[in-house]
């Protein structure tokens, strides 16, 4: 899938982002045998609020919002900065064509210069996601506390 442009999301995209999130995270719920996934329980107001707190990017194809990813700079306990990556999602019917990896490369590429590392989490049993992240240089960090049913992966800059 090469015929797409990654652009910044706006408030107008919030409702479609919520729908895409639900479509993608239902798969995560099935793979991880849990409904205790924050993305599945978000409201439209939360999605709108997150658009103000995260740098969020989307992909449209034929007018349809088909993929998204977001990042934000956070301070680590030692005072350094980490670029947190979240909500990397591709519409279920378009998964497996490389769009997720392109979005991952994109969000890493737009990280502020002072981000010295990258961090993200995915389902503990989401092996396809974990393989993609590891192929991009991320390391599974079982020494870090992740949300329930999730694992954290990190990568140095």
CA 86/CA 120 separation, integer angstroms = 6
What pTM was computed for the model? 0.92
Domain boundaries, the chain: 6-156
User: What pLDDT digit, counting tens, does each position of 91-124 carry?
Assistant: 999 999 999 999 999 999 999 999 999 999 998 8
Residues in the chain where the model's pLDDT stays below 50: none
Residue 82, pLDDT score: 96
Cα of 25 vs its chain's centroid, Å: 11
CA 32/CA 48 separation, integer angstroms = 27
The class (CATH top level) of 6-156 is: alpha beta
Positive or negative, the CA dihedral 140, 145, 151, 157 is: negative
Residue 142, pLDDT score: 92
């Amino acid at each position: 899938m090469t015929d797409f442009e990654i652009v910044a999301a706006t408030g107008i995209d919030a409702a479609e982002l919520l729908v895409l999130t639900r479509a993608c995270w239902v798969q995560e719920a099935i793979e991880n045998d849990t409904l205790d996934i924050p993305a599945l329980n978000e409201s439209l107001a939360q999605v709108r609020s997150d658009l103000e707190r995260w740098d969020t990017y989307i992909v449209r194809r034929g007018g349809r919002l088909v993929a998204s990813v977001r990042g934000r700079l956070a301070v680590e306990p030692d005072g350094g900065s980490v670029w947190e990556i979240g909500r990397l999602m591709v519409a279920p019917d378009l998964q497996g064509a490389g769009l997720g990896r392109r979005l991952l490369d994109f969000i890493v590429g737009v990280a502020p210069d002072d981000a010295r590392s990258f961090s993200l989490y995915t389902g503990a049993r989401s092996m396809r996601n974990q393989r993609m992240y590891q192929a991009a240089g991320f390391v599974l960090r079982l020494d870090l506390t992740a949300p329930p049913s999730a694992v954290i992966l990190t990568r140095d800059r």
